[in-house]
Chains A and B, each alone.
Chain A
Amino acid sequence: DIQMTQSPASLSASLEEIVTITCQASQDIGNWLSWYQQKPGKSPQLLIYGATSLADGVPSRFSGSRSGTQYSLKISRLQVEDIGIYYCLQAYSAPYTFGAGTKLELK
Chain B
Amino acid sequence: EVQLVESGGGLVQPGRSLKLSCVASGFTFSNYGMNWIRQAPGKGLEWVAYISSGSSYIYYAETVKGRFTISRDNAKNTLYLQMTSLRSEDTALYYCARKNWGYYFDYWGQGVMVTVSS
Residues on A lying within 8 angstroms of B by beta carbon are 32, 34, 36, 38, 43-46, 49-50, 55, 85, 87, 89-92, 94-101
Q: In the complex, A43 Cα to B93 Cα: how many Å? A: 10
Q: Is the CB of B61 within 8 A of A95?
A: yes
Q: In the complex, A55 Cα to B104 Cα: how many Å? A: 11
B46: A residues at CB distance < 8 A: 98
> Which of B44, B59, B108 lies in contact with A43, CB distance below 8 A?
B108
> Which of B47, B102, B110 lies in contact with A96, CB distance below 8 A?
B47
Q: Does B45 contact A (CB under 8 A)?
A: yes
B109: A residues at CB distance < 8 A: 43
Given A95-B59, A95-B62, A100–B44 Cβ distance below 8 Å?
A: yes
Q: Is the CB of B35 within 8 A of A101?
A: no
Q: Is the CB of B59 within 8 A of A94?
A: yes
Given A87-B44, A101-B44, A96–B35 Cβ distance below 8 Å?
A: yes
Q: Is the CB of B111 within 8 A of A89?
A: no
Q: Does B27 contact A (CB under 8 A)?
A: no
Q: In the complex, A87 Cα to B47 Cα: how many Å? A: 12
Give 10 closest A-B pairs by Cβ, nearest first: A34-B104, A94-B59, A32-B103, A49-B104, A43-B108, A96-B47, A101-B44, A98-B45, A91-B103, A92-B103
Chain B residue at minimum C-beta to C-beta distance from A38:
B45
Q: In the complex, A44 Cα to B99 Cα: how many Å? A: 14
B73: A residues at CB distance < 8 A: none
Q: Is the CB of B105 within 8 A of A89?
A: yes
Q: Is the CB of B47 within 8 A of A98?
A: yes
